[in-house]
A and B are shown apart, each in its own frame.
Chain A
Amino acid sequence: MSDTWERVQLASARIPFRIKTGAVWIALFAFLGFVGSSAGFDLQWIQDNMRYIAGGLRYTMYTALGGIALAVVMALLGALARISRNPVANGIAGFYVSFFRGTPLIVQMFLLYLALPPVGRNLAAKYDWLPEGFADWFLLDVMTAGIIALGLNYGAYMTEIFRAGIQSVAAGQGEAADALGMTYLQKMRKVVLPQALRVIIPPTGNEFIAMMKDTALVSFLGTTVDTMEIFRRAQLVGKHDFKNLEAYVAVALLYWALTVLFTYFQARLERRLGRGYDRSHVVKLAEASLRQRRAAGPA
């Protein structure tokens, strides 16, 4: 008995580790497939409805791309303000980061979508010198509210990533730029930010992937029919046909595929950025300071 076990172990040792982990994955899929089919999983329904659910991918992607674009702008401004000695800029940035890290994303979405319009209405009613249509500025459609909420929320977290990235650029670089008579903007644009980007881009990729998943929250705002993202679509058709299991499995697979795909691209990008010059020490610095700040919580 123990002899056989010994031989099995030795034989197994000759198989590459990756093949073995791959086999475990296949076994897990097979197990899930077995459970699913025993539970009356309707594959045909998924085939019939996947097209409709996946049709929401473009809105999921629009929301995530819009959100990350806004987040990058906010994070850059936030980081520069947090580093600066200007009390107004620093104070505003501190307030921004503290609020958006200190409150739930879903609350921020509702604040923008449902709590903002009455503000506009009441202001317009109270001050008649406000321009025509002032109240309408506060009426955001669901996707816009979602993008703004995601962008502001992620921007607050990413402010720390950007700040760590900027501060990870060796002090001598800024001094050399100063010594050459560069202005602050020239120094930032040509010397500091390009070097900081190498540190900033990989974690920003992670944030983007996380944000793709958080776009599902937008569906709670009650998306209108023409801009429904994948989660909302899955919810609707699943409920309508009493196929909740199939619908949520389908949409989970879509999110999973998206993250696997983008994780792959992100890893490639990271490798490409790594070439050229050694930045390992810089990355370590940035990560350490990020960990510290995450641990410290919103502040």
Chain B
Amino acid sequence: MTGTSTDVVVRIEGLHKSFGHLEVVKGVDLDVHRGEVVVVFGRSGSGKSTVLRCVNFIEDPTEGSIEVAGIRLGGGHRTRRKREQIRQLRLHVGMVFQQFNLFPNMTVLDNVTCAPRMAGKGSETEIAQRAKDLLDRVGLADKAREHPARLSGGQQQRVAIARALAMEPDVMLFDEPTSALDPELTGEVLSVMKTLSTEMHMTMMVVTHEMGFAREVADRMAFFHEGRILEEGPPSELIASPRYAETRAFLEAVL
């Protein structure tokens, strides 16, 4: 949380986002430092997903700016040049979705290798080797030739993590990665995410209501309320002694 601005990987400044007349994000500022894990939580509709999706410009910010790995961009009309800048920024960001979004028309291995191949990230053998290593890391080396539809939800989500990691991103975004899973499958995904932090020192922004994971892995937690960060702090403090009644009420509901 401390440190010079050089080890800031993601800087969200004055972010606002409206859908038509509905303002969903009403001024969010957040810095995420290298190696830091930030857990984002809050009620449904508080704007958590929207903020995450603004970070890699899947949603276009209405106001404010996003800086990732030194590339600073705002919202607005997507000219050809702007689209290319956004794509460059995205090359530094990995994203894991609630619904996995694996490509069903490709094998597991192709899911992991296709983006690095298109981006020309190394030779064909390097890409294949890295994919094998990553599948090994998420415990699915033996599923490389399968199609995603044949895997369980937990396995699919672990492939999705490997797919994002294959681009060697500076930061990983997780939008409720375990919410679509049966309870008995959440553990395998959470433990993979934990090793990303402990072994790879990956910078992560995680939207989740898994408070056990937050307590164990998060360096910092941010509570979203009505499009703003109501309070933030280390999990030990925030979970034990929240300052706001809204935070307390929410924690009581999920704990």
Contact = CB atoms under 8 A, between A and B. Distances in A.
Interface of A: 170, 172-173, 175-184, 186, 190-191, 194-195, 276-278
Contact of B105 (A179, A180, A183, A195): A195
Interface of B: 56, 58, 83, 87-88, 90-91, 93-95, 97, 99, 101-106, 114-115, 118-119, 147, 149, 163-164, 167
A190 B117 CA distance: 12
A176 B164 CA distance: 9
B115 A173 contact: no
Contacts of B58: 175, 178-179
Nearest to B105: A194
B164 A276 contact: no
Contact of A180 (B83, B88, B90): B90
A190 B104 CA distance: 11
A186 B119 CA distance: 10
Contacts of B93: 179
28 contacts: A172-B99, A172-B101, A173-B101, A173-B103, A175-B58, A175-B97, A176-B101, A176-B102, A177-B103, A179-B56, A179-B90, A179-B93, A179-B95, A180-B163, A180-B164, A181-B115, A181-B167, A186-B118, A190-B106, A190-B114, A191-B105, A194-B105, A195-B104, A195-B105, A276-B104, A276-B149, A277-B104, A277-B149
With a 10 A CB-CB cut-off, give which of A175, A176, A180, A190 has the most chain B CB atoms: A180
A183 B86 CA distance: 10
Contacts of A183: 87, 118
B118 A190 contact: yes
A173 B164 CA distance: 14
B147 A182 contact: no
Contacts of B87: 181, 183
Contacts of A191: 103, 105
Contacts of A177: 103
Contact of A175 (B101, B106, B119, B149): B101
Contact of B91 (A173, A175, A181, A278): A181
Going nearest first, the 3 A-B pairs with the smallest beta carbon separation are A180-B115, A176-B101, A172-B101
Contacts of B164: 179-180
Contacts of A180: 90, 114-115, 163-164, 167
B167 A277 contact: no
A186 B91 CA distance: 14
A176 B103 contact: yes
A12 to B, nearest CB: 44
Contacts of B163: 180
A170 B103 CA distance: 10
A179 B114 CA distance: 13
Contacts of A170: 101
Nearest to A194: B105
